[in-house]
Amino acid sequence: MTENMTSSDLATQMIQVRNLHKSFTLHTQGGIELSVLSSTDLSVSTGECVALMGPSGAGKSTVLRCLYGNYLPQAGAILIRHKGHMINLVGAEPRNVLAIRRETLGYVSQFLRVIPRIPAIDLICEPLVTLGIDPKAAREKAAELLTRLRIPERHWALAPATFSGGEQQRINIARTMVVDYPVLLLDEPTASLDAENRHTVIDLILEARDRGAAIVGIFHDEEVRDAVCSAQHHVAVPSAQDGTQMNEMNSGDKQDLAG
């Protein structure tokens, strides 16, 4: 929300979503139009971690996928600060979206999608090497993260497709956290983790906040949410009939959390 913001507030804004609308056409069900997001507004500044809240089916994952450019909204704007400029992802050229993902926008999805037979440590190094970081330095940083996330060294040369669900999620987290992205999108980053690794990921998220990253995430684990989030954003559920909001709280409302 920007109407009460000062110029200083606007200068620290990293994400600004305005009047976002997203619907899906169900072609196998007679072309029914399913409205998922309606008039969604959101702003996130440096050092802020916002939890997307709402019941199952409210569109929380859809918000993240729109922010990453995986889904194209029917209307609205998604502004991401990239190299000092606010860039609208909606309608951006694919090469510009890829550049923003490469340098500005990190995304931890729920599922690991990797090329088969690529060793875990090489997979984690790749984003750094793509940015021009020396391969030896990239490998050292990847090894540090793998150690913190308790991936045994004997597994580093193995393809993550052979790993357990919890190990794959930690590889996913390491691949994103290895780069100091200014913006992070986190989709249930601790869902498959035990208590010890969950606390390590909490530390990584807090470290990202401390260096000024703007973070938007889905955190179903209340302990994790309370530990890392500075605010909550309630995603309202559009009516199946006309797309109007069913929730009492408008989808643009963001509740700051004490502490």
pLDDT-above-70 percentage for the chain: 87
Which pLDDT value is given to residue 148? Answer: 98
pLDDT tens digits for range 210-226 = 999 999 999 999 999 99
Q: Is the pLDDT of residue 13 over 50?
A: yes
Whole-number percent of the chain with pLDDT over 90: 71
Contact predicate 211/179, CB 8 Å: no
Domains observed in the chain: 1-104+231-251 (3.40.50.300)
pLDDT (0 to 100) of residue 245: 39
The reported pLDDT for the residue numbered 32 is 84
For the chain, what is the radius of gyration of the CA atoms? 19
CB atoms < 10 A from the CB of 29, how many? 8
**For the segment 150-187, what is each residue's pLDDT rounded down to a tens digit?**
999 999 999 998 899 899 999 999 999 999 999 999 99
C-alpha 189/C-alpha 97 separation (Å) is 23
Containing H/E element for 246?
Answer: none
> Is residue 120 within 8 Å of 173, Cβ to Cβ?
no
Q: Are 45 and 214 spatial neighbours (Cβ–Cβ below 8 Å)?
A: yes
pLDDT band at 11 (very low <50, low <70, confident <90, very high): confident
Q: Tens digits of per-residue pLDDT, 220-258?
A: 999 999 999 999 999 987 765 544 433 333 344 555 664
In the predicted model, is pLDDT for residue 16 greater than 60? yes
DSSP per-residue string spanning 82-101: ETTEEEE-TT--HHHHHHHH
Q: Mean pLDDT, the chain, as a whole number?
A: 88
The pLDDT of residue 30 is 79
pLDDT reported for residue 106: 97
Q: Are 125 and 142 in contact (CB under 8 A)?
A: yes
For the entire predicted model, the pTM comes to: 0.88
Q: Can you spell out the DSSP letters for 169-180? A: HHHHHHHHHTS-
3-class secondary-structure state, position 23: strand
Summarize pLDDT for 54-91 with one digit per residue, the tens. 988 889 999 999 999 999 999 999 999 999 999 999 98
